[in-house]
């Protein structure tokens, strides 16, 4: 029997991935359907000398996560829709102050308290536009227990590499689903740690970026005293109202993501070689889409799936290429057409873009996707 | 033993609030053109009340040679 | 030229500060660095965390590990810093609105945990940065730009609030009583647990003007007259009639939060 093969829940795999990536600090607040992530972190972190804290609210959970990361500890928090809304101001703080961390959002139906125990994919746009002001965003969305593990590692790696909060989107289905997972990959994982300063403390300018647009980050308490603020700041880290400084900082924050899209964008293509029609789907819905595709293929319909794993920044180049190849793209998502906007923006000039979704708390099933695809083909 | 202390002012930081003038027990200080001035240095007893309550760190005691 | 203390602990190139003429905040920040100096804390191991508002600009002027956070959230950020790096001396500098309105929840819970963070609230009884709106510490029927007919809210006694929530050290002093203020801050930092200091400030620009309290000097004199040392009040209660008590109000050391967590880590280490 292979000891590395385990049966894990999605939320559990998320914690295992975080620990494999080097998580040492978790601050959060209980919320369905993400709570297992906090519970398992509470159990496992002290055993490795790490720290867990249950904060008084979601806002504090986000703030403490950022505080933990500033001391050099890889930090994570987990939530669902209502908590994700509450965390938004401090996610923006993490973006402008360039503090690496991972925010897991196990999506449920909304708005407001909505459908706490039912799945949805309705925070796709909140992941991009949730906090005020323009800001860089990386959001990832796996679709299996195995992939939750590896994508959580990717989320930490990207957070550390690009000095930015990374949002890991799950949904109630994959968060609570139990599946086989092979943990033998742990030994071969690439783990990235944030770049730390190599200069002396006297020379250190906390927000002076290297050529890769990322400033080296010193741990609080390590001998590099510096200032961190949510105000617009120059390369020293101190506040500035200077319009040139604001322009430069804003552009660097966006450029450090935009110029690395090739590295950040992850996706899966399924049966697209000869496809004339394609689903675009992610998370739990992409699993239903695959089954629908298998069944439609048996009927002779040339259909495939493009599955973005990196939701933001969107895989623009790949979606554009897809739009040049197929006649129709069906965006299937458990919301009222959020990612459809993005796919339309990229693809609508080249092909027909259709939306299929539901917001009744029920997962999208293969049968309804088959039926919808066949209707579109008529 | 260190050198004796003397009162110094940094007019660039003074905002002219007058707190040091009001709480100097020996009436050493005055506002001149809206900024702090050591009008009667010979009366200063180096108590440090001015430094203690100056919100702007514009007046303070510091060790200095007698002739400075 | 600056005083040795200013040279040692403040970022001279960031001064003069943005506070208005006669604002008590500068006096309080001075008391904080005197306390740190008296305790001989290693500046590399001091982390100053602030929120948003006039008071919270202090972090930028202080030459330590400094974190100027979002409005009300200084204590939540500070909790993350302290929890993940317990050897840091974490000091939160905040205002009355920051700590007891938008940040009130974080205040009571940090106090409840008795986590080793010293919180110093610069209480000027008003929202200064936004131009003089009433805060949770604006006295009843005083005026603010959002209380043009008088403030009908009851005000918080911040020290009672912190004590009630579980702080193990509580003290109060004013910008006028700057010597005592530094001593209280020193004791607060020395307490291994959650310490709360109400540093009573004065805002001549907004609170003073709106409430006809006179200029900066007059407001400083009011602090002198209105507040009485707890030691005097205990000996001669009649001298405290109608006045506010300052000094060390509560000192009851309790097991500290990160220490308790460390015990869990140690226990798990032994088991494995």
In a domain, B68, yes or no: no
Domain of A112, CATH number, reads 3.40.50.970
Domain of B26, CATH number, reads 3.30.70.20
Show the tokens assigned to C145: 């730009």
Whether residue C16 has a cis bond before it, omega within 30° of 0? yes
CATH topology (fold) of C4-271: Rossmann fold (3.40.50)
Question: How many domains is chain B partitioned into structurally?
Answer: 1
Residue listed under structure tokens 């007259």: C225
Is A43 in a helix, a strand, or coil?
Answer: helix
Set of chain A residues whose Cβ sits within 8 Å of the Cβ of C105: 56-57, 60
- Chain A residue nearest residue C67, CA to CA: A228
Question: In this model, does residue C66 exceed pLDDT 60?
Answer: yes
Show the tokens assigned to C42: 């290693």
Cα A295 from Cα A378, distance rounded (Å):
17
Residue A75 dihedral angles phi and psi, to the nearest 5°: -130, 150
Probe site for chain C from B6, B8, B19 (most C CB atoms < 10 A): B19
8 Å CB contact between B10 and C2: yes
Q: Which of A188, A203, A226 is the last residue of a domain?
A: A188
Question: In this model, does residue A185 exceed pLDDT 70?
Answer: yes
Angle made by CA atoms A84, A86, A88, in degrees to the nearest 5: 70
What mean pLDDT, rounded, does chain A reach?
97
Question: In this model, does residue B1 exceed pLDDT 60?
Answer: no
Section A338-357 average pLDDT: 98
Q: What is the pLDDT of residue C1?
A: 79
**Residue A221 CB partners (closer than 8 Å, separation 6+):** A71, C44, C45, C47, C65, C85, C87, C88
* Chains B and C make contact, 3+ CB pairs within 8 Å: yes
| Interval A225-264: pLDDT, tens | 999 999 999 999 999 999 999 999 999 999 999 999 999 9
Set of chain C residues whose Cβ sits within 8 Å of the Cβ of A29: none
Residue A141's CB is within 10 A of a number of other CB atoms, namely: 30
Section A263-289 average pLDDT: 98
User: What residues make up the domain containing B42?
Assistant: 5-63
CB contact under 8 A, C79 and A65: no
Q: Which of A134, A164, A188 is the last residue of a domain?
A: A188
- Chain A residue nearest residue C102, CA to CA: A59
CB contact under 8 A, A220 and C77: no
Helix (H) / strand (E) containing A25: strand A23-28
Question: In this model, does residue A288 exceed pLDDT 70?
Answer: yes
CB contact under 8 A, B54 and C26: yes
3-class secondary structure for A107-171?
EEECCCCCEEEEECCCCHHHHHHCCCCCCCCEEECCCCHHHHHHHHHHHHHHHHHHCCEEEEEEE
Angle made by CA atoms A161, A165, A168, in degrees to the nearest 5: 100
pTM over 0.95: yes
Cα A104 from Cα C16, distance rounded (Å):
43
Is A19 in a helix, a strand, or coil?
Answer: helix
DSSP B23-50: H-TT--EEEETTEEEES-GGG-----HH
Q: CA–CA distance from A268 to each of A151, A282, A316 (Å)? A: 13, 10, 14
**Residue A148 CB partners (closer than 8 Å, separation 6+):** A10, A13, A14, A17, A142, A170, A174
In a domain, A11, yes or no: yes
Cα A286 from Cα A265, distance rounded (Å):
17
Helix axes of A10-21 and A145-162: crossing angle, nearest 10 degrees: 40
Of the listed ranges B1-10, B42-51, C24-33, the least confidently predicted one is B1-10
Please name which of C123, C99, C118 lies closest in space to residue C39, comparing C-alpha atoms: C118
Please name which of A316, A362, A297, A371 lies closest in space to residue A115, comparing C-alpha atoms: A362
pLDDT band at A344 (very low <50, low <70, confident <90, very high): very high
Section A159-181 average pLDDT: 98
Cα A27 from Cα A51, distance rounded (Å):
8
Q: What is the pLDDT of residue B65?
A: 77
Helix (H) / strand (E) containing B8: strand B5-9
Residue listed under structure tokens 């200080």: B29
Question: In this model, does residue C31 exceed pLDDT 90?
Answer: yes
Whether residue A116 has a cis bond before it, omega within 30° of 0? no
Q: What is the pLDDT of residue C63?
A: 98
In a domain, A212, yes or no: no
| Interval A105-153: pLDDT, tens | 999 998 999 999 999 999 999 999 999 999 999 999 999 999 999 999 9
Residue C148's CB is within 10 A of a number of other CB atoms, namely: 10
Probe site for chain B from C6, C12, C16, C202 (most B CB atoms < 10 A): C16
Q: Residues of A323-351 as b/e, b for ≥16 C-beta within 10 angstroms? A: bebbebbbbbbbbebbbbebbbebbeebb
Cα B67 from Cα C88, distance rounded (Å):
44
Q: What is the pLDDT of residue B64?
A: 84
Show the tokens assigned to B12: 């660039």
Q: What is the pLDDT of residue A1?
A: 65
User: What residues make up the domain containing A373?
Assistant: 267-377
Please name which of A61, A138, A100, A93 lies closest in space to residue A218, comparing C-alpha atoms: A100
Cα A79 from Cα A28, distance rounded (Å):
7
Question: How many domains is chain A partitioned into structurally?
Answer: 2
| Interval C85-135: pLDDT, tens | 999 999 999 999 999 999 999 999 999 999 999 999 999 999 999 999 999
Tell me, yes or no, if C21 comes closer than 8 A to chain B by beta carbon. Answer: yes
* Chains B and A make contact, 3+ CB pairs within 8 Å: no
Question: In this model, does residue A3 exceed pLDDT 90?
Answer: no
Section A341-350 average pLDDT: 98
Cα C214 from Cα C204, distance rounded (Å):
7
Please name which of A184, A176, A120 lies closest in space to residue A148, comparing C-alpha atoms: A176
User: Quick one: residue A368, left, alpha or beta (phi over 0 = left, psi -120 to 50 = alpha)?
Assistant: alpha
Tell me, yes or no, if C240 comes closer than 8 A to chain B by beta carbon. Answer: no
Section C22-44 average pLDDT: 98
Tell me, yes or no, if B18 comes closer than 8 A to chain C by beta carbon. Answer: yes
Cα A181 from Cα C119, distance rounded (Å):
46
Q: What is the pLDDT of residue C272?
A: 77
Question: In this model, does residue B25 exceed pLDDT 80?
Answer: yes
Q: CA–CA distance from A250 to each of A135, A233, C214 (Å)? A: 8, 10, 44
CB contact under 8 A, C73 and A51: no
3-class secondary structure for chain C?
CCCHHHHHHECHHHCCCCCCCCCCHHHHHHHHHHHHHHCCCCHHHEEEEECCCCHHHHHHHECCEEEECCCCCHHHHHHHHHHHCCCCEEEEEEEHHHHHCCCHHHHHHHHHHCCCEEEEEEECCCECCCCCECCCCCCCCCCECCECCCCCCCCCCHHHHHHHHCCCEEEEEECCCHHHHHHHHHHHHHCCCCEEEEEECCCHHHHHHHCCCCCHHHHHHHHHHHEEEHHHHHHCHHHHCCCEEEEEEEECCCCCHHHHHHHHHHHHHHHC
Show the tokens assigned to A142: 């796996």
Q: What is the pLDDT of residue B67?
A: 61
pLDDT band at C6 (very low <50, low <70, confident <90, very high): very high
Burial of A300 (0-12, 13-18, 19+ CB in 10 A): exposed
pLDDT > 90 fraction of chain C, expressed in percent and rounded: 99
CB contact under 8 A, A55 and C79: yes
Q: CA–CA distance from C54 to each of C68, C203, C206 (Å)? A: 12, 10, 12
In a domain, A89, yes or no: yes
Beta strands A101-109 and A74-79 are parallel
**Residue C162 CB partners (closer than 8 Å, separation 6+):** C107, C111, C119, C170, C194, C196
CB contact under 8 A, B57 and C4: no
């Amino acid at each position: 029997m292979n000891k590395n093969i385990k049966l894990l829940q999605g939320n559990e795999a998320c914690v295992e991935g975080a620990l494999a990536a080097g998580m040492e600090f978790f601050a959060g607040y209980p919320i369905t359907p993400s709570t297992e992530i906090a519970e398992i972190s509470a159990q496992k972190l002290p055993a490795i000398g790490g720290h867990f804290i249950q904060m008084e609210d979601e806002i504090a959970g986000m703030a403490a996560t950022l505080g933990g990361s500033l001391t050099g500890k890889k930090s994570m928090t987990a939530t669902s829709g209502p908590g994700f809304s509450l965390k938004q101001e401090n996610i923006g703080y993490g973006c402008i102050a360039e503090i690496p961390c991972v925010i897991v959002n196990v999506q449920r139906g909304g708005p407001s308290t909505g459908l706490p125990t039912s799945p949805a994919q309705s925070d796709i746009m909140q992941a991009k536009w949730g906090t005020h002001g323009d800001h860089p965003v990386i959001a990832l969305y796996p679709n299996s227990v195995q992939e939750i593990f590896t994508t959580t590692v990717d989320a930490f790696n990207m957070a550390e590499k690009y000095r930015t909060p990374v949002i890991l989107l799950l949904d109630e289905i994959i968060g609570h689903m139990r599946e086989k997972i092979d943990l033998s990959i742990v030994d071969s994982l690439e783990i990235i740690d944030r770049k730390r300063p190599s200069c002396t403390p006297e020379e250190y300018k906390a927000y002076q970026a290297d050529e890769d647009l990322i400033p080296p980050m010193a741990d609080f308490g390590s001998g590099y005293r510096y200032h961190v603020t949510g105000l617009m700041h120059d390369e020293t880290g101190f506040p500035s109202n200077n319009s040139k400084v604001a322009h430069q900082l804003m552009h660097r924050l966006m450029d450090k993501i935009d110029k690395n899209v090739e590295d950040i964008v992850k996706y899966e293509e399924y049966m697209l070689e000869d496809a004339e029609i394609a689903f675009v789907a992610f998370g739990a819905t992409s699993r239903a889409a695959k089954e629908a595709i298998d069944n439609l293929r048996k009927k002779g319909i040339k259909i495939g799936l493009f599955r973005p794993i990196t939701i933001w920044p969107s895989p623009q180049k790949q979606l554009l290429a897809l739009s040049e190849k197929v006649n129709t793209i069906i965006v299937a998502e458990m919301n009222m057409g959020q990612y459809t906007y993005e796919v339309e923006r990229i693809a609508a000039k080249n092909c027909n873009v259709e939306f299929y979704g539901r917001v009744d708390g029920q997962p999208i099933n293969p049968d309804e996707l088959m039926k919808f695809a066949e209707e579109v083909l008529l | 033993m260190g050198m004796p202390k003397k009162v110094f002012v940094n007019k660039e930081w003074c905002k002219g609030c007058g707190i040091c003038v009001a709480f100097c027990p020996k009436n050493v200080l005055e506002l001149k053109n809206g900024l702090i001035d050591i009008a009667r240095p010979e009366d200063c007893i180096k108590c440090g009340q001015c430094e203690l309550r100056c919100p702007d760190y514009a007046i303070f005691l510091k060790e200095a040679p007698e002739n400075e | 030229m600056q005083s040795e203390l200013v040279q040692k602990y403040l970022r001279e190139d960031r001064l003069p500060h943005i506070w208005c003429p006669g604002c008590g905040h500068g006096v309080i920040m001075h008391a904080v660095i005197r306390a740190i100096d008296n305790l001989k804390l290693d500046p590399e191991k001091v982390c100053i965390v602030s929120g948003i508002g006039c008071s919270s600009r202090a972090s930028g002027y202080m030459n330590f590990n400094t974190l100027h956070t979002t409005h009300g959230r200084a204590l939540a950020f500070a909790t993350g810093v302290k929890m993940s790096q317990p050897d840091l001396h974490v000091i939160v500098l905040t205002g009355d609105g920051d700590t007891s309105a938008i940040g009130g929840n974080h205040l009571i819970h940090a106090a409840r945990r008795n986590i080793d963070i010293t919180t110093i609230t610069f209480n000027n009884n008003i929202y200064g940065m936004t131009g003089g709106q009433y805060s949770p510490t604006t006295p009843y029927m005083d005026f603010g730009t959002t209380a043009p007919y008088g403030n009908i809210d009851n005000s918080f006694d911040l020290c009672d609030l912190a004590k009630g929530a579980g702080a193990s050290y509580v003290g109060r002093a004013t910008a006028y009583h700057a010597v005592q203020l530094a001593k209280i801050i020193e004791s607060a930092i020395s307490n291994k647990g959650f310490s709360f200091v109400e540093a009573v400030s004065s805002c001549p620009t907004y609170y003073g003007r709106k409430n006809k309290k006179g200029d900066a000097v007059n407001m400083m004199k009011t602090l002198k007259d209105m507040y009485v040392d707890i030691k005097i009040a205990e000996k001669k209660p009649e001298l405290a009639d109608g006045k506010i008590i300052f000094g060390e109000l509560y000192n009851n050391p309790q097991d500290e939060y990160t220490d308790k967590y460390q015990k869990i880590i140690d226990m798990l280490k032994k088991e494995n």
